[in-house]
Amino acid sequence: MTSLIERAAAHDVEIQAIGRPDLDLSDPDSIERCLDAARADVVVNAAAYTAVDKAESEEELVTQINGAGAGLVAAAARRQGAPVIHISTDYVFDGTFDRPYDETDPPAPVGAYGRSKLAGEFAVAAANPEHVILRTAWVYSPFGGNFVKTMLRLGETRGQLNVVADQRGGPTSALDIADAVIAVAKGLIDRPGRFGIFHMTGAGEASWAEFAAAIFAEAEAHGRKPVEVVPITTAQYPTPARRPANSRLNGAKLRETYGVELPHWRASLKSCVARLLASPTT
Ligand SMILES: NC(=O)c1ccc[n+]([C@@H]2O[C@H](COP(=O)([O-])OP(=O)(O)OC[C@H]3O[C@@H](n4cnc5c(N)ncnc54)[C@H](OP(=O)(O)O)[C@@H]3O)[C@@H](O)[C@H]2O)c1
């Protein structure tokens, strides 16, 4: 949301940001009240219950927010004749394929969060035929909590870090996602009809260990002390929720349909780290 607000200003697009406490995705009345009062050309839902591990013990709540709640947002957009852009995730897949996932590949979530996000995709599609579902993965930005900020913080006090090396994905800048969402929204207004599911991640791929090493290399270029990344396996770093080993998503459909392609993750990481080190409070 913060990235979208920042990039909207650069694209001269007007954004009405709605969220808690006014609109709570677990409260259907608040969704109707807020969205029926809003008048938008396109409705974007970037909100979700995202605590992947906690979701394992709160499946009812996460399903209500990410499933039913997402459907109600799409239905509200439908009532005002607007298309909905909905953000989804690589977690709808189990990650067992040995190539980047296509939109036509069968979803098979392995945890509560992934199941809830898949329920959301179905609910959005059922509630509003004019939907664009953008699945992304491994998101970071200068804002909020994320992997890049965690690595930079840990690197301040540690000379060595163990990082998982047997999961692969496309690190994705939220600022690049925001640019893509705005481009798709404009595309929907200019030439309606290109609905469906699309994959969208930073170009290229990495393991978490390679991603971490790149973060520390960028930080070192800005005068930070070196941090050694020790590659470990997923089994050596157990978490309550299972993660897909392969989170790579094929972005060809988005490129061919909307002409939208995200920059290489290393280029976007470079500017994110530079920005964070110049102004660590953002
Ligand atoms: N992070 C990733 O790596 C990743 C990967 C793939 C897909 N995604 C998807 O990208 C989208 C944004 O994720 P993110 O990483 O930016 O998440 P985030 O930083 O956790 O932000 C989630 C946002 O959703 C809001 N939210 C949570 N519960 C809500 C509720 N019940 N009602 C209304 N708003 C609620 C939060 O509001 P508050 O500020 O009030 O808490 C926050 O603004 C989500 O759809 C997520 O599934 C993320």
Question: Does residue 282 have a pLDDT over 80?
Answer: no
Question: Does residue 280 have a pLDDT over 70?
Answer: no
| DSSP letters for 192-235 | ----EEEE---BS-EEHHHHHHHHHHHHHHTTPPP-EEEEE-GG
pLDDT per residue over 178-187, tens digit each? 999 999 999 9
- Which two tokens mark 16? 């009405």
Q: What is the pLDDT of residue 281?
A: 52
Are 204 and 251 in contact by the 8 Å Cβ rule? The answer is no
Residue 233 burial (CB count, 10 A): 11
State which of 1, 121, 139 you would mutate to test the pocket of ligand 1, scoring each by most atoms of that ligand within 8 A of its C-beta: 139
Does residue 18's CB lie within 6 angstroms of at least one atom of ligand 1? no
pLDDT per residue over 109-129, tens digit each? 999 999 999 999 999 999 999
Q: What is the pLDDT of residue 24?
A: 97
- Site of tokens 């409070």: 281
The DSSP bridge pattern shows strands 228-232 and 160-164 to be: parallel
Does residue 46's CB lie within 6 angstroms of at least one atom of ligand 1? yes
What span, in angstroms and rounded, lies between the C-alpha atoms of 197 and 193? 13
Does residue 249's CB lie within 6 angstroms of at least one atom of ligand 1? no
Mean pLDDT of 196-220: 98
